[in-house]
A and B are shown apart, each in its own frame.
Chain A
Amino acid sequence: MTETLPMAGATANVNLAGLSKNDYRGAPSTLCQGCGHNSISNQIVTALYEMNIVPENVVKFSGIGCSSKSPTYFLNRSFGFNSLHGRMPSIATGALFGDYRLKGVGVSGDGDSASIGMGQFKHIMRRNVNMVYIVENNGVYGLTKGQFSATAEKGLSLKKQGKNDYMPVDICMEALVSNATLVARSFAGNPKQVKELLKVALAHDGIAVLDIISPCVTFNNQVNAYHSYTWGKDHEEPLHEISYIAPRSEIMLENEMADGEVREVSMHDGSVVILKNLEKGYDPSNRYDALRVMEEAQDNNWMLTGLLYLDTSKPNLTSIYNLVDTPLNRLTEADLRPAPDAIDRVNALMF
C-alpha cells in the first residue's frame, strides 16, 4: 500500500513516489464555498501525497449526496465509482475483490450512511473491507435543500423544517457495535487532525470509519447547531493529540517518545500512531472504553474527536478469502475455466 521508493531523482516538489501534489488533485469542486467537504478533500490529497501512495493503488467510492460528489474533486488518477444512494458499501465490497492490493477510499454522508444506507453501513463493518470509510457528517440533506438527517441533534431547528424531534444516530457508535476495526471522529475545522486520522486510516488494513463533522454552510451552520463551525470550535474535545509516523522513521519516533504521557500503536504496515496528552489514560484498543467516552461526550455536550477504537489483529475481507497472489482481475481463461477433462468428472457426478 505505502510505496516507499528510492530517493534518487526526488526533488522538493515531488514525494517519494516521484509524484507532485498535482498528481493527487481532482476536478474543481462544485460544492459551496466554505463547505467542510472541500477541506476534507484537500486533506485527502495531502495525506496520500505525504504517504507516497500511488493514485493507481487507490479506488474511490461514494454513494449519493453532496459528500458523495466529492471523490470527483480529488485523485483524478484513481478509478472511481459514484454509486447509488446508500449503496457505496456493497459496490466497494465487490470491487475490492478485483485486486486485493488496492485501497478503497469511500466518501459518504450522514444521509447516505445513517439513513438509506444504514444496513449496508453496518454490514461492511463486520466484513472488515479494506477501505477508509469517510462520513462527511453535517446533519442535513444538502442537495435536496435542507431536510434533517438522521444525525441531526434533537431540538435542532431548520428553516422550513421546524424542530427535530428525534434522537440522533451516532455514526461512531454504530460502527463500533458493528465490529468496525478502526473508528475515529474528527472535525473539518481541525484539518491537522483530519489529516493525521486519514493517514492512520489509510495505513489500517481493514475498515476505517472516519466520522468527520463537516459543516454545511448553506443549510446547517447556525452557531448553536451541533454540526456548525462555531459549535464545533467551542465544543471540540480531542481525546489526544495524534501523529502518524510512517514506517522506517525511527529517529522521529524516538524524539516524540521523549515527551510525557504517550501511547504508541503499531500499524499493520510498520507505521506507528502516537497519541499524546492522554489525560484520561485512554486505550483505543478497548471497545468498552470507546463506548464509555462516547457516552460521556454525549452527556457533557462535547464534540469528542480522535482515534476512538483500533484493532489491528483482524484480517481484512479479501485475506479471509485466501485469494491467489495474482489479483483476480488479472487471471485468464487458463486459471478460470476448468480443463476439458473436468466435464467428464462433472457428468459422472450426476446420476
Chain B
Amino acid sequence: MNKVINDFSITVGTVNGSGSSTANNTILRAIFKMGIPVSGKNLFPSNIQGLPTWYTIRANKDGFIAHNERRDIVIAMNPNSFARDLASVTPGGAFFYADDIKQPITRTDVAVYPMPVKSIVRNDPNVPSDFRDHVANMVYVGVLAQMIDMDMDRIYAALDFHFKKKQKPIDMNFNVVKAGAEWAKSNLEKKDAFYLEPMNKTEGMIMADGNMAGALGSIFGGVQFVGWYPITPATSLAESLNDYLPQLRKREDGKHTYAVVQAEDELAALGMSIGAGWAGLRSMTSTSGPGLSLMTEFAGLAYYAEVPVVIWDVQRIGPSTGLPTRTSQGDLTFTHFIGHGDSQSVILLPGDVYECFEFGWKAFDVAERIQTPVFVLSDLDMGMNQWISKPFKYPDTPMDRGKVLVESDLEELKGNWGRYLDKDGDGIGFRTFPGNKHPLSSYFTRGTGHDEYAKYTEEADVYLNNMDRLKRKHETAKNYVPAPVLHEMKGATVGIIAYGSTEAAILEAQHQLDKEHGLKTDFLRIRALPFTKEVDAFLAKYDQIFIVEMNRDGQMAQILMTEYPQYAPNFKVVAYGDGMPASAKWVREGVLAKYESKKAKSGKQKAVKKVAVKKAAPAKKAVVKKPSGKKVTTKAVAGSKSKAKRK
C-alpha cells in the first residue's frame, strides 16, 4: 500500500459536552508543531451536553487546509452517531472506535480499529474515577498518535499549553495518551495508508481563533469601552477582551483605562457603545445576526448622528433556534443597508485570523476618521476555530482619532465652529467631547433633523444638504478602508470574487480548476465596503466573474450588481450556505456549473473538462497528488498589506 503522507483528514465523532475539545485541539496542535499545515473545524450542535458533535482536522503538506468533505480517518466515540460515522469513512480510510460501543461493523473497505477506551482509563490508578470521562478522549489521541506517527513530544507541548503548565492535569492526560499509544503498539496492526511526517511549513507561525485575534487587535487599537451581550458565536470575542485587557493594559496604580459592560440585551449593548463613542471613547460591541437585528435602530441612529463605534458581527445561521452554531456569510446585505431611510455602512471583511487582529485596531481608526459605525464581519468558522496564522503584527500606523476639537482649538477658532460643517469638503465635520470646558464646545445630538450647527430643523433644503454630505463622507471612506487582495494566475481568463473565511477554499479550488480542468482564474478577495478603485479595475477585466459566498442569495453579488450595473451581465453567482465552512469542492463545482467556455475571451478554455457536478470528487482520488501551490502568485493590490501566507 502506498503511504499517504501529510495529506488527509481526521473526523472525530463525540458526544457534545464530553470534553473532547481538549483532545481534538491536542491533535490539531501536535500536527501544527510537527510543521505540517493543518486546520481544525468544530462542527457542533446548539446544545450544552448530549447531542452528537464532530471535529474535523485536515493536514495538508501543500497548505490546502480549507474544510473538505473527505473522511479519511474517522474516530467514533459516540454510540448515537456510530453507524453514521462508519458509513461516512472514505473507502480505503480508517475507522477507530471505542470498543464499548457494540454495534455491527458493516464495512469491509476500510481499516477498522477498536480501542479499549474504558479499560485503559479504568486501569490507570492516577485517574480518579470522577475524571475518567474527562480523560477518556485522550485514549484516541494516543492510539491515533501510534498509528499515524504523531509526535509524542508535540502532544506533550500541546497539553502543556492547554493546561497552562499545570503539571497535574498535564501528567494525567499525557499518561492516558501514552497508555493508548502503548496499547495500540502491541495490539493493532497498521492496515491504512495515512502517516504524518515532520515538515517545516509552520515555522514561525502561531495558532489562534478569530475572536481572540479580534479582541487582541481591538486592545492594540486602544479600545476603551465595550458593551456586549452573550451570543454564539461572538461571545468569546468579548470574553477574550475580559481576559486580555487586564494583562495588556495593566498600570502600576491598578486603575483602568477601559470598561467592559455586559448589557441587558443587544439594544443596550450598542446603545452604551454609541454613548461611549459619542463621548470620545474607542468603543465597540460584538454580536451575531440576531443581535444585529436588535441593534438595527441604534445603528441607523449612529449613522445619522455620526457616532464612531465598531460593531463586530460574527456571522452564523438563522434567527431563533435552527442552526445557531453553523457558519454563514448571511448578514452582508443586511449590514450594508442597516438602519431605516437611506444608509450605507462601512464594512470591513477580514479573511483570516491575522486580519481579525489587524482590522481589530484598524476599525477604530476608520470609525473615528469617518465618524460612523464600522462593521467588522467575521463568521463562526473564523471566529471560533483555531487557524494557523502569521504572528500578529504591531499596528504600523499611529492611531487616527479623526477630527476632534479640544479647548485650545476652540479658543483659536473663537468658538466659531459647527458640528456638521463640511470645512474640508470630505463630508466630515469636527467633533467635540462632553467634558470639554469651553463654553461653546457643546452641541446637541439627534438623528437627521439638524443643521450644520446641530440646531434642530425640519427644513427640506437643510435636510437634503446633510444627506448629500453623508454620501460624500461615504465616498471619503474609500480612502481609509483596506484594499482587496488579488491572487493572480498567469493567463487567467475569468475572475473570482469572494470575501471573508472562504479564501482557503477558493485558493484550493483555483488550483484544481487549473490542474484538473485547465481553467485559469484570478481571484480578488474584497476586504471592505465601500468598494475601492481596485474593485472597479478587476470587474472591468473579465467577461465572466464568479462571485463566491456562503449564503443562498448571493449577497455580495447583489451589492456589486447595484453598484456596478454595467458589469452585472458578467456576474455568475456561486452562493451556497449549508452551515459548513466553505470547501474547494463546492467552489470548484459551482464555478464549473456556471462557466461558459464559448464566452471566454481566450480560445484556450475550450478544452475545459465539464464534470458532472453532482458526482464530483470521487473517493478514489484519496492518494491523488494535490497540485503544488507554486503557480499562484499572491499579491496585495496597491495600498494593501502583503499576504504571503500560502506562497
Q: Which residues of chain A have C-beta atoms less than 8 A from B161's C-beta? A: 351
On whether A94 and B392 interact (CB within 8 A), knowing A325-B255, A329-B433, the answer reads no
Chain B residues within an 8 Å CB radius of A81:
275, 278, 305, 444-446
Give chain A residues whose Cβ lies under 8 Å from the Cβ of B437.
54, 56
The answer to whether B297 touches A84 (Cβ under 8 A) is yes
State which residues 272-298 of B face A: CB under 8 Å: 272-283, 297-298
Residue from A78, A329, A336 in contact with B222 in the complex, judged by beta carbons closer than 8 Å: A336
- A97-B279, A338-B219 are known contacts; what are 17 more A-B pairs with Cβ within 8 Å? A56-B437, A71-B444, A78-B442, A81-B275, A81-B445, A94-B272, A94-B273, A97-B276, A98-B435, A99-B434, A120-B267, A335-B257, A336-B249, A338-B220, A343-B393, A350-B206, A351-B29
Please, which residues of chain A bring their CB within 8 A of the CB of B395?
Answer: 337
Residues of A close to B446: CB separation below 8 A: 81-82
Q: Give A97 Cβ to nearest chain B Cβ, in Å.
A: 5
Whether A96 sits at the interface, judged by CB under 8 Å, is yes
Q: Are A119 and B264 in contact (CB under 8 A)?
A: yes
User: Which residues of the partner chain A approach B443 to less than 8 Å between Cβ atoms?
Assistant: 79-80
Q: Which residue of A lies closest to B438 (CB)?
A: A56
Name B residues whose Cβ lies closer than 8 Å to a Cβ of A: 29, 32-33, 158, 161, 206-208, 216, 219-225, 227, 244, 248-249, 251, 253-259, 261, 263-265, 267-283, 297-298, 301, 305, 386, 391-395, 398-399, 432-439, 441-447, 456
B residues near A335, Cβ cutoff 8 Å: 222, 257
The 10 closest A-B pairs by CB, nearest first: A98-B279, A90-B271, A94-B275, A336-B222, A99-B435, A329-B280, A94-B272, A95-B275, A94-B276, A350-B206
A13 on interface, CB distance cutoff 8 Å: no
Q: Which of B207, B254, B435 lies in contact with A102, CB distance below 8 A?
A: B435
Q: Which of A323, A327, A329 has the most CB of B within 10 A?
A: A329
Chain A residues with CB below 8 A from B225, complex form: 94, 97, 328
In the complex, the answer to whether A82 meets B445 with C-beta atoms within 8 Å is yes
User: What 0/1 pattern do residues 301 to 337 of A give for CB contact below 8 A with B?
Assistant: 0000000000000000010011111011111010111
Q: Which residues on A sit within 8 Å (CB–CB) of B272?
A: 90-91, 93-94
Counting chain A residues whose Cβ lies within 8 A of the other chain, the interface size class is: 35 or more
A102 vs B265: C-alpha distance in the bound complex, in angstroms?
25
Q: Is A123 an interface residue (CB 8 A)?
A: yes
Residues of chain A with a CB closer than 8 A to B441's CB: 56, 79
In the assembly, what is the distance between CA of A96 and CA of B297, in Å?
21
Chain B residues with CB under 8 A of A346: 216, 244, 248, 392
B279 touches A72 (CB 8 A): no
Cβ B435 vs Cβ A329 within 8 A = yes
Q: Are A331 and B276 in contact (CB under 8 A)?
A: no
25 contacts between A and B (CB under 8 A): A54-B437, A60-B444, A71-B444, A81-B445, A84-B301, A87-B267, A94-B273, A94-B274, A94-B283, A95-B434, A98-B275, A98-B279, A98-B281, A99-B434, A101-B435, A127-B261, A324-B255, A327-B435, A328-B257, A328-B258, A329-B433, A330-B435, A336-B222, A342-B220, A351-B206
Enumerate chain A residues within 8 angstroms of B249, measured Cβ to Cβ: 336, 338
In the assembled complex, the Cα of A90 lies from the Cα of B280 at a distance in Å of 16
Contacts of A338 in B (CB 8 A): 219-220, 248-249
Cβ–Cβ contact A123 & B275, under 8 A = no
Tell me the bound Cα distance from A214 to B28 in angstroms: 66
> In chain A, what residue has the closest Cβ to B394?
A343
> Chain B residues near A328 (CB, 8 Å)?
224-225, 257-259, 280-281
Contact with B along A62-92 (1 / 0, CB 8 A): 0000000001100011111111100101111
State whether A83 touches B271 (Cβ < 8 A): yes
User: Which residues on B sit within 8 Å (CB–CB) of A80?
Assistant: 442-445
Smallest distance from the beta carbon of B376 to chain A beta carbons, Å? 18
A321 to B216, CA, bound (A): 21
The answer to whether A90 touches B435 (Cβ under 8 A) is no
Residues of chain B within 8 A (CB-CB) of A330 are 435
Of B222, B227, B386, B434, which contacts A90 at CB under 8 A?
B227
Which residues from B are CB-within-8-Å of A198?
none
By a CB distance below 8 angstroms, the chain B residues around A351 are 29, 32-33, 158, 161, 206-208, 386
Q: Is the CB of B392 within 8 A of A343?
A: yes
- A312–B89 alpha-carbon span in the complex (Å): 68
* Smallest beta-carbon distance A326→chain B, Å: 9
Nearest A residue (CB) for B161: A351
When distances are taken between beta carbons in the complex, the residues of chain B under 8 Å from A102 are: 434-435
What is the bound-complex CA distance between A347 and B395, given in angstroms?
A: 14
Q: B282: which A residues are within 8 A, CB to CB? A: 336
Residues in chain B near residue A71, CB distance under 8 A: 444
Give the docked Cα–Cα distance between A336 and B245 (Å): 11
Q: Does A59 contact B (CB under 8 A)?
A: yes
The yes or no answer to A340 lying at the interface (CB within 8 A) is yes
The distance from the CB of B185 to the nearest CB of chain A, in whole angstroms, is: 27
B435 and A87 form a contact (CB under 8 A): no
> A18-42, CB under 8 A of B: which get 1 and which 0?
0000010001000000000000000
Rounded to whole angstroms, the CA-CA distance of A101 and B279 in the bound complex is 13
Complex: how many Å from CA A80 to CA B279? 10
A99-B435, A343-B392 known; A329+B279 contact, CB < 8 A:
yes
Residue of A nearest to B406 (CB): A330
Give the distance in Å from the alpha carbon of A351 to the alpha carbon of B265 in the complex.
Answer: 34
B208 contacts which chain A residues (CB < 8 A)? Answer: 350-351
- Chain A hits for B207, CB < 8 A: 350-351
A88 to B, closest residue via Cβ: B271
Q: How far is A325 from B222 in the complex, measured between Cα atoms in Å?
A: 17
A78 to B438 CA separation, bound complex (whole angstroms): 10
A122 to B265 Cα, complex, angstroms: 12
Report how far A84 CA is from B259 CA in the complex, Å: 23
Which of B219, B251, B277, B439 interacts with A324 by CB under 8 Å?
A: B251
Give CA–CA (A333, B365) in the complex, Å: 12
Complex CA–CA separation, A323 to B276 (angstroms): 14
B151 to chain A, nearest CB (A): 15
In the complex formed, the residue of B with least CB distance to A336 is B222
Are A95 and B264 in contact, with the CB atoms below 8 A? no
Determine the distance from Cα of A83 to Cα of B297 in the docked complex, in whole angstroms.
10
Contact pick for B268, options A72, A89, A336, CB 8 Å: A89
Contact call A95/B248, Cβ cutoff below 8 A: no
Chain A residue with the shortest CB-CB distance to B213:
A350
Residues of A within 8 A of B267 (CB): 87, 90, 119-120
Contacting B at CB under 8 A, from A157-207, are none
| B92 smallest CB distance to A (angstroms) | 32
Given contacts A87-B298, A91-B274, contact A343 B281 (CB under 8 A): no
Which residues from B are CB-within-8-Å of A87? 267-268, 271, 297-298
Given A119-B264, A324-B251, answer yes or no on A95-B278 (Cβ-Cβ < 8 Å): yes
Do A119 and B271 touch (CB < 8 A)? no
Q: Which of A77, A98, A350 contacts B439 (CB 8 A)?
A: A77
Decide if B442 touches A79 in the complex (CB within 8 Å): yes
Quick one: closest A residue to B437, CB to CB? A56
